[in-house]
Amino acid sequence: MRRLPGLLIPLLLALPGCSGLLHSSAPALQLYVLQPPQVVTVALDADLPAAPAGVPRLAAPSLRVGRPLPGAGLNTDRIALLRPGNRLDYYAGSRWSAPLADLVSDLQLTVFRVDSAWSAVADDRSTFNADYLLQTSIDRFTAEYATEAGPPLIHVDLHGLLIRRSDGILIGSFAVSEKGIAKENRMASVVAAFSAVADQALIDVQTQSDQLLRSVKSPATP
């Protein structure tokens, strides 16, 4: 027992050094959001064909937007980049405000909820029994650098499936690809470019989905 004080001394001397682990000089983590597209609200029945006199117009079908399926390296809230040599990496100290798939899902809802082709739109969090399901995958959502110093090329590739839920029939599939160069190699410019390119890609998804819907010869059965 007499030897205990001698053992305690080095332990106590070590405690002040350990307190430094609770503090960091690294910059605070920055969270970024994707701005939704500037879409124009239109009447829900604007694109429906005119019904003969005395015949009620068919209601537009409803849509469920599935949570997008992220590709390899994109199932995260980290902001992905490709370095020269096709090396996958992530920006340090910067994150999306939520996992990428959740951000893209929210943007899809913003686009489709003002789309006249659909009477109602919901996502996977709803128990709403929609007529159609839109399932997308995020194949590319990266800032790609030709050199370490120059501004990156933002590249967004999405793939979509439109499925009629009453019978599980695939109405059709499509792929969209959009890209644009950031103005500067600064995080604010990179995120602004991500928003612009992603917005155009999602508008392409809306256009392709609506075209597939118009190709259906008979209305969906609830």
Q: From first to last of its 222 residues, what are the pLDDT tens digits of the chain?
A: 444 344 333 333 333 333 333 344 556 789 999 988 876 444 434 444 444 444 344 579 999 999 999 999 999 999 999 998 889 999 999 999 999 999 999 999 999 999 999 999 999 888 888 999 999 999 999 999 998 788 999 999 999 999 999 999 999 999 999 999 999 999 999 999 999 999 999 999 999 999 999 998 545 444
Closest alpha carbon to 141 in 112, 176, 167 = 176
Residue with tokens 């469920």: 64
Token pair of 24 as six digits: 């960091």
- When divided into structural domains, the chain yields a total of 1
Predicted local distance difference test score (pLDDT) of residue 157: 98
How many CB atoms neighbour CB 47 within 10 A?
15
**Structural domain includes residue 156:** yes
Token pair of 183 as six digits: 């103005």
Question: How many Cα atoms sit within 13 Å of 161 on the Cβ side?
Answer: 14
Predicted local distance difference test score (pLDDT) of residue 22: 39
Q: Do residues 160 and 174 touch, judged by C-beta distance below 8 A?
A: yes
Predicted local distance difference test score (pLDDT) of residue 37: 81
Predicted local distance difference test score (pLDDT) of residue 28: 78
Phi, psi for residue 92 in degrees, rounded to 5: -80, 140
**Structural domain includes residue 207:** yes
Predicted local distance difference test score (pLDDT) of residue 95: 97
**Structural domain includes residue 56:** no
Predicted local distance difference test score (pLDDT) of residue 132: 96
Helices then strands (H, E): number in the chain?
Answer: 3, 9
Residue range(s) defining the domain that contains residue 111:
61-215
Residue with tokens 């009453």: 166
The Cα 183–Cα 189 span in angstroms is: 6
**Structural domain includes residue 81:** yes
**Structural domain includes residue 3:** no
Predicted local distance difference test score (pLDDT) of residue 58: 56
**Structural domain includes residue 69:** yes
Report field, pTM of the whole predicted structure over 0.85 = no
The Cα 7–Cα 18 span in angstroms is: 18
The Cα 122–Cα 109 span in angstroms is: 7
**Structural domain includes residue 47:** no
**Structural domain includes residue 8:** no
Predicted local distance difference test score (pLDDT) of residue 62: 95
Alpha helices in the chain (DSSP H): 4-19, 100-112, 187-215
Predicted local distance difference test score (pLDDT) of residue 39: 61
CATH number of the domain encompassing residue 66 = 3.40.50.10610
DSSP 117: T
Residue 201, CA distances (Å) to 2, 34, 42, 139 in order:
74, 13, 20, 12
